[in-house]
Amino acid sequence: MEKFVNKIICGDNLELIKEISDEFINLVVTSPPYYKQRDYGSGIGNEETIEEYIEKLRQLFHECVRVIKRDGNIVFNIGDKYENGNLLLAPYRFAIEILKKEPVKLVNDITWIKLNPTPRQFKRRLVSSTEPFLHFVKSDDYYYNIDSFMNHLDRLKKHNSRNSNRNKIGKRYFDLINESSLSEKEKSMARKELLKVIQEVKTGKLDSFRMKIRGIHSKPFGGQEGGRKIQLEKKGFTVIRIHGNALKRDVIECPVETIKGCKHPAIYPEYIIQQLIRLLTQEGDIVLDPFMGSGTTAVACKNLGRNYIGFEINPNYCKYAEKRVSNIKFQSTLELF
């Protein structure tokens, strides 16, 4: 199995996963293509019915159960879909089908609250702003290190505190503001907002934050990010606040991510994957993502000292993910300061 470790393999995940030995993987974490939601070029997602879609996912899930260790974990992020005005409840239909046919338990339904949901305002329903991360295990002995996770948050706060004494929090963003093409008025507003959010980190109100600056950071895809897209265009900048202690409440508050130069239509945030990896694995463990996409899981593993295996059917995404993982200049969302 060494031929797969720390590599992104281009091909059909259902065929590739059959080459992995039983109980070889510590964690499977992935986000399959959503049902009839986006065009990923090929693979799962364009089935005629929701039943066909769920059955294909179940076939892959069956192999995931086989390859994870007895104390391993499986996390699937599945988005929902409206069809003829009816919400299909795709994630929960998937979960029920899995629990009926596979020897696993569903121990957590972790809710991702998007701080920047797609800004489509419907006349007859509210904007969808959450997605589930379904956490399955195949034994009661699954690895789960809440102490390690919470210690990480404590270290992060101490790190922020130390940096605040040295006036280093946000320095990178002050430099980017100075280098940007914003007007002097926009730069002044950006510095003022940056000072405000830095103070929120210093006082422990926030875990961390991100700032996007017009002309430097990428614009959101399509209609994503709503008010943040408008802020970026009109004000010249936008600030994304990241709150801590989210996993204590089975809730993760985090913005939808976009990466400049990446053409993948649906990137899940590295912040979420980092938290799951810290909680469910140890350093040196092996993490499998059978829908690697833009490479986020591999990047998170590399940053956190875990090994990864990635499968991706789209050759363009494979090339991008490989380049992204090998890019030594890449900076994780938890290392902004």
Q: pLDDT grade, residue 25 (50/70/90)?
A: very high
Domain 7-153+244-326 indexed as CATH 3.40.50.150: yes
What's the confidence (pLDDT) of residue 256? 76
Closest to 32 (Cα-Cα) out of 108, 180, 143, 133: 133
Closest to 22 (Cα-Cα) out of 74, 77, 88, 66: 66
Q: Which two tokens stand for residue 65?
A: 């159960």
Q: How far is CA 173 from CA 213, 217, 323, in A?
A: 9, 11, 25
For residue 282, give the DSSP letter: -
Residues 66-107: tens digit of each pLDDT: 999 999 999 999 999 999 989 999 999 999 999 999 999 999
Average pLDDT, the chain: 84
The separation between CA 160 and the C-alpha centre of its own chain, rounded to angstroms, equals 23
Residues 106-128: tens digit of each pLDDT: 999 999 988 877 666 677 888 88
All structural domains of the chain with their residue ranges: 7-153+244-326
Residues 302-330: tens digit of each pLDDT: 999 999 999 999 999 999 999 999 874 44
What is this structure's pTM? 0.72
Q: Quick check: 241 and 254 in contact, CB under 8 A?
A: no
Q: How far is CA 170 from CA 158, 173, 210, 302, in A?
A: 16, 5, 9, 24
Residues 177-210: tens digit of each pLDDT: 999 999 999 999 999 999 999 988 877 777 778 8
- Report the alpha-carbon distance of residue 174 to residue 215 in Å, rounded: 15
- Report the alpha-carbon distance of residue 140 to residue 23 in Å, rounded: 15
Average pLDDT, stretch 226-252? 77
- Report the alpha-carbon distance of residue 217 to residue 180 in Å, rounded: 10
**Percent of the chain topping pLDDT 90:** 57
Q: pLDDT grade, residue 174 (50/70/90)?
A: very high
Other CB atoms within a 10 A radius of the CB of residue 112 amount to 21
What's the confidence (pLDDT) of residue 335? 37
Residues 278-300: tens digit of each pLDDT: 999 999 999 999 999 999 999 99
